[in-house]
Amino acid sequence: MIILKNREEKLKMKESNRIVALVLKEIEKKIKPGVKTIDLDKFAEELIRKEGAVPGFKGYLGYPATLCISIDEEIVHGIPSERKLKEGEIVSIDVGTIKDGFYGDGARTYAVGEIDESGKKLMETTEKSLYIGIEKAIPGNRLSDISNAIQTHIESEGFSVVRDFVGHGIGRNLHEDPQIPNYGDPGMGPVIREGMTFAIEPMVCEGKSWKTKILPDGWTAVCEDGSRAAHFEHTIFINAEGPEILTVA
Ligand code: MF3
Ligand code: CO
């Protein structure tokens, strides 16, 4: 069942997602060779609490940290640690918050120092596919119109769409109906309506395979072929006129 949000609930989601966007903006300045991922996590937790929210992922299904930090071939759910970022890596940071009972959720991939052209293209294509998907989130369209638009763009650039993780409805719960795959035929699934709130999050492997595996830590998802991955996520609200991105600082 897809839970619609009213005006007041939308405002609360705007606030929890504003804090997500603030973290993603502020953390960009800290992404440099030599920084430990655990220190990025500490910084994010402090900022979230200073803004009157709490980390949304910490404790969720036993997840141990505030951020998910996924480097190079890691796609999502990398656990912050003593590992230091290195020049040339790409690093995906996923942030969740809860404030006033509502979740915020957003992610983006950053370059550490200078990166190669293919890495830049991977990041640009993934981010662009997110915006192309969001454009389809219009009342009257069907859910898989979003999915298909994302997939079409990513594959047109020669990259692979991860199937094992998907976007989702979001609200009082981090994961609500519907699931929002980043692939599929258009014209399927529920009709999009005003008041729906979606976390749209394309995850892309650089190589030809979209297969994933989970590392022995039980969380970190990687591209099975060892190719690098990018991940961009926005939480959006569906207005009568169309989508509104809530993850803005
Ligand atoms: N953005 C991810 C998601 O929507 C983050 C979840 S991490 C978890 O699923 F630890 F909270 F599971
Ligand atoms: Co999400």
Q: Which domain holds residue 80?
A: 7-245
- Which residue, judged by its Cα, is nearest atom 8 of ligand 1? 57
Q: If pLDDT is split at 50, 70 and 90, which confidence band does 246 have?
A: very high
**Ligand 1 nearest atom to the CA of residue 199, by list position:** 4
Question: Which residue from 246, 209, 241 is spatially nearest to 225, judged by alpha carbons?
Answer: 209
| Predicted local confidence at residue 138, as pLDDT | 98
| Predicted local confidence at residue 220, as pLDDT | 98
Q: Which residues are CB-neighbours of 95 under 8 A, at least 6 positions away?
A: 20, 23, 24, 44, 48, 56, 57, 66, 67, 104, 105, 106, 107
Distance CA 23, CA 240 (A): 29
Q: What is the mean pLDDT of residues 230-249?
A: 98
Cα(204) to ligand 1 centroid in Å equals: 16
CATH of the domain at 126: 3.90.230.10
Neighbours of 224 (CB within 10 A): 15
Q: What is the pLDDT of residues 184-213, one digit of tens each?
A: 999 999 999 999 999 999 999 999 999 999
| Predicted local confidence at residue 1, as pLDDT | 96
Q: If pLDDT is split at 50, 70 and 90, which confidence band does 156 have?
A: very high
Q: Which two structure tokens, joined as six digits, stand for 90?
A: 């790409």
Is residue 208 in some structural domain?
Answer: yes
CB 90 within 8 A of CB 109: yes
Q: What percent of the chain has pLDDT over 70?
A: 100
Mean pLDDT of the chain: 98
- Nearest ligand, CA of residue 95? 1
- Nearest ligand, CA of residue 69? 1
| Predicted local confidence at residue 112, as pLDDT | 98
Q: Which two structure tokens, joined as six digits, stand for 214?
A: 């989970």
- Which residue, judged by its Cα, is nearest atom 2 of ligand 1? 94
Cα(14) to ligand 1 centroid in Å equals: 19
Is residue 99 in some structural domain?
Answer: yes
Question: Which residue from 238, 235, 166 is spatially nearest to 21, judged by alpha carbons?
Answer: 235
Is residue 212 in some structural domain?
Answer: yes
| Predicted local confidence at residue 19, as pLDDT | 99
Is residue 2 in some structural domain?
Answer: no
Cα(50) to ligand 1 centroid in Å equals: 22
Burial of 28 (0-12, 13-18, 19+ CB in 10 A): exposed
Q: What is the mean pLDDT of residues 113-131?
A: 98
| Predicted local confidence at residue 177, as pLDDT | 98
Q: If pLDDT is split at 50, 70 and 90, which confidence band does 247 have?
A: very high
Is residue 1 in some structural domain?
Answer: no
Is residue 240 in some structural domain?
Answer: yes
> Ligand 1 pocket: which of 54, 66, 94 to mutate (most atoms <8 Å of CB)?
94
Side-by-side strand order, sheet with 212-214 = 74-76, 221-223, 212-214
CB 74 within 8 A of CB 162: no
In this structure, which residues have their CB less than 5 angstroms from ion ligand 2?
105, 199
Is residue 190 in some structural domain?
Answer: yes
- Please tell me whether residue 169 adopts helix, strand or coil conformation: strand
Q: What percent of the chain has pLDDT over 90?
A: 100
**Ligand 1 nearest atom to the CA of residue 57, by list position:** 11
**Ligand 1 nearest atom to the CA of residue 170, by list position:** 4
**Ligand 1 nearest atom to the CA of residue 167, by list position:** 4
Q: Which two structure tokens, joined as six digits, stand for 223?
A: 């591209």
Please state, in angstroms and as integers, the Cα–Cα distance from residue 241 to each residue in 162, 194, 234, following that order: 30, 8, 18
Is residue 93 in some structural domain?
Answer: yes
pTM reported for the whole predicted model: 0.98
Q: If pLDDT is split at 50, 70 and 90, which confidence band does 66 have?
A: very high
- Nearest ligand, CA of residue 60? 1
**Total of domains in the chain:** 1
Distance CA 14, CA 11 (A): 5
- Please tell me whether residue 99 adopts helix, strand or coil conformation: strand
Kindly list the protein residues whose Cβ atom lies closer than 6 A to any atom of ligand 1.
57, 60-61, 63, 68, 77, 94, 96, 105, 107, 168, 199, 233
- Which of the 8 DSSP states describes residue 26? H
